[in-house]
Structure 1
């Protein structure tokens, strides 16, 4: 068994699990000759397929990431030729849309999504609770009461404001 981070290093363990999952999905992409495609692109592609071209702000909301994270992902996807940016309703807004190249890749990407979803179901069968349920429960609990508040409640209050 691979060495795991210590149990108290929860953030490190979460990153480790994400690296294990995303790393193997990235291997699948490379095997499918999609070396420029990243696991983080799939939620963007799925949102754009479902809703059509979107401003980055709306895309970020649809995917569940920050505006900054969405902007970075869109920039990478643009460099890979998967999305185009066009002017939006005003000069500050840019719409993100899928390119013909992205549409050409959809059969392969869709097959990977299906296989990955099935693989996740088999992984879930080995766990005491499906991973998505646990992560959803975790995100909900942290939204309800942020971790910083929990740290303060455990005895380490936030420092006073700087003057």
Structure 2
């Protein structure tokens, strides 16, 4: 069998996003902030703005699954950025900011705004803005989901 991972239409996009996230991560390293990842910022800002939330509420607020948020909250808890306390019932947990993350929220909000400004600047240099690419892909996926597209290509490939 040939290695199917040798061909990848998305590798360059994944690597670009990882490189951009890595450069945002450098901002945190420059400020000697331990354990903070760029992928945590949206959740931390939501918790700051809305107050403690259950994992389900936080997942709904940012449009992610409960499972994905549960894993992310575990990482943020390990980094000392959030803590969890029992919720209204035995199955739920409320997520709250720690003193460490409360000290960071102004920087995180400023970094978010600076990142958006940098993206706007970058898009001005491009013949076709990235945000337009995303809108176009979303429109195409409304017509036919990615799941449908992949399963159609799988038919006949695997029994």
Distance in 1, Cα, partners of 2:54 & 2:143: 28
Equivalent position of 2:137 in the other structure: 138
SS in 2 for 1:10: coil
| 1:112 paired to 2:99 | no
For 2:47, the equivalent position in structure 1 comes to 48
Query: Which structure 2 residue ranges, 5 or more long, are not aligned?
Result: 1-5
Counterpart position of 2:65: 66
Provide the residue aligned with 1:3 in structure 2: none
Residues 143/21 of structure 1: CA separation in 2 closer, same or farther (3 Å cut): farther
What does the per-residue CA deviation read over 1:121-159, in whole Å, with 9 as the maximum and x for residues that have no partner? 111112234323432442454355222312455xx3546
CA contact (8 A) 2:45 2:105 kept: no
Q: Decide which structure has greater helix share.
A: 2
Alpha-carbon displacement from aligned partner over 1:15-47 (angstroms, at most 9, x marks no partner): 112112111111111112123110011110122
Which residue of structure 2 lines up, in the alignment, with residue 25 of structure 1?
24
Q: Secondary structure at the match of 1:16?
A: helix
Greater relative contact order structure (CA < 8 Å, 6+ sep)? 2
Structure 1 gaps of 5+ residues are: 1-5
Matched residues, number:
154
1:34 alignment partner in structure 2: 33
The SS at the match of 1:96 is strand
